Amino acid sequence: MSRFWPFGSGKKAAAVRAVSNSRGVSYSSSPLLAAKTPPWRSRFLVALVGLAFMGLLVRAAYVQVFASEFFQRQGEARYAHTMELPASRGRIHDRNGQVLATSVAVPSIWAIPKEVDADPDKRRALAKLLGLSSQELDKKLDPASRFVWLRRQADHDTANAIKALGLKGVFQDREYKRKYPEGEAAAHVVGFTNIEDRGQEGIELAFQKELQGRDGSRSVVRDRLGRVVEDFGELVPASNGRDVELSVDSKVQFFAYQRIRDAVAEHKAKAGSVVVLDVKTGELLALANFPSYNPGDRRNLSGAQLRNRALTDIFEPGSTMKPFIAALALESGRVAPETPIQTAPGRMTITGSTISDAHPHGVLTVREVIQKSSNVGTVKMAMQMPPREMHEMFTAIGLGQRPQLDFPGAVTGKLRPYKTWRPIEQATMSYGYGLSASLLQLARAYTVFARDGDVIPITMTKRPDGQPVSGIKVFSPTTAKEVRLMLQMAAGDGGTAPKAQVSGYSVGGKSGTAHKQEGKGYAGNKYRSWFVGLAPISNPRIVVAVMVDEPTGGVYYGGAVAGPVFSQVVAQSLRLLNVAPDLEVKPQIVAKQVTAVEESF
């Protein structure tokens, strides 16, 4: 009897039979499942998993705890930036509030080299705008650098043209650039700053601490295009520098510069300087040199242009020393103004060396010795004095000492100890050879005659109105007044510098002429010419000192070369200071031709 399959036959029946048969299989009898796994293998796998988790924990602890600051900095470096907020440098004003130096905001171009993405045409355009060759630009944009300045303190047209290129990785920030409205006229007074806005010369250097201020900072988040997304952290505001008010009068300064520039050109000279001092306060009203420079554009600047000759150049002052010898002789009672001195035959010999005058004058009074600038007469007064007495007087008027002035570069000059003087050296020092001084030192020394015998400190900054100024008493008022009259004679008819006269004002002063030192001797055809004087004689207000270096063309005496510059500067300065004329103006006398006495030097 055949079995009956209710599900029929075919594929479906076969599947049913397979299921039915599988119920009878024993899996435990499988060879694969019957094999035992070694215990060390399972333990090894568990250990590997444990070590992996331990490594993750150690790494997490290192990142989150031990090296968190490092990773924080690295993360911030990719999105956070500290922007410097530059402080505006203080302004420099003259005594009347006129701006001599100020700062203006200008764009500066910088880049992150690895982010710069520009096609060749745009790179060439960028190089052209920056004034660089393609090779120079490629060197600046070295991907190894994280930051590079492309152009600091650029002009606005260049900055706008670069911005229009739309270069990725090229940015602009604001910096401050110094501007000098008075240009070369006041260059040696104000000086200049470098690209980092730090003073390098003049007042900019002398008052660096007061002018510089303190930069601030701002922490920001930038996106990949360099745009500021948001601020974070503390904002530190910039503290601007303090303004400095000088004693200089910009109008007096400009006029003095023009006059010395014209004199250098007229006499085909090497250089020249002018110093103007207010004898009431000791304030420096002008300090001008030629050649000069534009402090805002110092390309191709030479050392000759940069030198502040009025402070740094020292020279033998020559005949400008004679009034001090006369004053010392008067003060000590050795002579009186009318004391006669025999100067004939116009020469004298001391220890084998001959001292001579330009012309023999015969008997001269002390006044006439200064008026005619007699070497012989001056030496005869000086040789009555012990060397120590002369040395103390020279020291008292500031020779051989650095001026106490808030200004870089002022020199001491040379004044040897009196114990080393030989008789011939004492003699030559009396008329200005064997010692040296700067033009500024000479100008200050002459305040002793303008202020009734005392020498006052000088300053480059404006003094508060009404502040009293005390000095060092060197001579009595009587002696100072008497020497003023001698100086007036020297600058008048019959003196060595009649061209120093000023219409409407009484003036007095002393010319000087000297051969220039060259090696161990003196050049036969190279001279320095100068004139130092004061005005008005009745009530002195200013001292003006003028020096012209190496005038050529046959005219070299101080009265003829420096005297006219003194006259012009005094006239303009007194008018600007509102000083009333003390003489009746007589045009016919001004126009009259006067002959100067040839100076002995």
Residue 2 pLDDT exceeds 50? no
Q: What residues does 110 pair with on adjacent strands?
A: 149, 171
Which of the pair, 553 or 321, is modelled with greater confidence? 321
> Model's pTM, two decimal places?
0.81
In single-letter form, the type of residue at position 239 comes to S
* Choice among 135-149, 169-183, 310-324, 376-390 with the minimum mean pLDDT: 135-149
What does the mean pLDDT of the chain come to? 86
Report the alpha-carbon distance of residue 261 to residue 292 in Å, rounded. 9
Which of the pair, 26 or 235, is modelled with greater confidence? 235
Report the alpha-carbon distance of residue 480 to residue 452 in Å, rounded. 5
pLDDT of residue 135: 86
Q: CB–CB of 258/274 below 8 Å?
A: no
pLDDT-derived band at 32 (thresholds 50, 70, 90) equals low
Burial level of 258, CB count in 10 A (0-12/13-18/19+)?
middle
Helix and strand element counts for the chain (H, E)? 24, 21
pLDDT of residue 7: 45
CATH class of 250-591: alpha beta
Q: CB–CB of 274/310 below 8 Å?
A: yes
Instruction: Give the tens place of pLDDT for each residue, 563-580.
Output: 999 999 999 999 999 999
Q: Rounded to the nearest 5°, which phi and psi values hold at 248?
A: -65, 140
Return residue ranges of the chain for CATH 3.90.1310.10.
79-112+175-246
Q: Rounded to the nearest 5°, which phi and psi values hold at 428?
A: -70, -30
Residue with tokens 């008497």: 482
Residue 156, H or E segment: helix 156-165
Q: DSSP letter string over 260-289?
A: HHHHHHHTT-SEEEEEEEETTT-BEEEEEE
Give the list of residues 6+ apart from residue 183 with CB closer than 8 angstroms, or none. Answer: 294, 295, 296
Instruction: Give the tens place of pLDDT for each residue, 420-435.
Output: 999 999 999 999 999 9
DSSP classification of residue 65? I
Give the list of residues 6+ apart from residue 29 with CB closer than 8 angstroms, or none. Answer: none
Looking at 247, 319, 374, 567, which residue is catalytic? 319
Report the alpha-carbon distance of residue 300 to residue 290 in Å, rounded. 16
- Dig out the tokens for 564 from the structure: 């006219």
Give the list of residues 6+ apart from residue 552 with CB closer than 8 angstroms, or none. Answer: 267, 268, 269
Q: Rounded to the nearest 5°, which phi and psi values hold at 504?
A: 95, -15
Give the list of residues 6+ apart from residue 71 with CB closer than 8 angstroms, or none. Answer: 63
Instruction: Give which of 91, 86, 104 is closest to 215, Cα–Cα.
Output: 86
Q: Please indicate whether residue 273 is annotated as part of the active site.
A: no
Instruction: Give the tens place of pLDDT for each residue, 221-271.
Output: 666 555 555 556 677 787 889 999 999 999 999 999 999 999 999 999 999
Cα angle 206, 212, 218 (rounded to 5 degrees) comes to 165
Most confident of 195-204, 390-399, 585-594: 390-399
The CA-to-CA distance between both ends of the chain, in Å, stands at 165
pLDDT of residue 238: 77
pLDDT-derived band at 371 (thresholds 50, 70, 90) equals very high
Q: What's the number of CA atoms in the CB half-sphere (13 Å) around residue 141?
A: 24
pLDDT of residue 591: 39
What Å distances lie between residue 444 and 12, 43, 106, 181, CA to CA?
A: 131, 100, 42, 29
Report the alpha-carbon distance of residue 297 to residue 367 in Å, rounded. 51
Instruction: Give which of 306, 403, 309, 358 is closest to 559, Cα–Cα.
Output: 358
- Dig out the tokens for 69 from the structure: 């600051």
Q: CB–CB of 363/371 below 8 Å?
A: no
Q: Rounded to the nearest 5°, which phi and psi values hold at 429?
A: -65, -30
pLDDT of residue 590: 44
Instruction: Give the tens place of pLDDT for each residue, 57-115.
Output: 888 887 777 777 777 766 666 566 666 677 889 999 999 999 999 999 889 998 888 88
Residue 48 pLDDT exceeds 90? no
pLDDT of residue 195: 86
pLDDT of residue 448: 97
Give the list of residues 6+ apart from residue 124 with CB closer than 8 angstroms, or none. Answer: 134
Instruction: Give the tens place of pLDDT for each residue, 476-513.
Output: 999 999 999 999 999 999 899 999 999 999 999 999 98
Pairing of strands 170-179, 99-111: antiparallel
Mean pLDDT, to the nearest integer, of 349-373? 93
Return residue ranges of the chain for CATH 3.40.710.10.
250-591
pLDDT of residue 265: 95
Residue 592 pLDDT exceeds 60? no
**CATH superfamily entry for domain 79-112+175-246:** Penicillin-binding protein 2a (Domain 2) (3.90.1310.10)
Neighbours of 443 (CB within 10 A): 29
pLDDT of residue 376: 96
Instruction: Give which of 497, 522, 524, 523 is closest to 511, Cα–Cα.
Output: 497
Q: CB–CB of 337/482 below 8 Å?
A: yes
In single-letter form, the type of residue at position 252 comes to V
- Which is it for the CA torsion 423, 428, 434, 439, positive or negative? positive
Q: CB–CB of 294/306 below 8 Å?
A: no
Q: Rounded to the nearest 5°, which phi and psi values hold at 465?
A: -60, 135
Report the alpha-carbon distance of residue 545 to residue 525 in Å, rounded. 23
In single-letter form, the type of residue at position 454 comes to D
Give the list of residues 6+ apart from residue 234 with CB closer than 8 angstroms, or none. Answer: 219
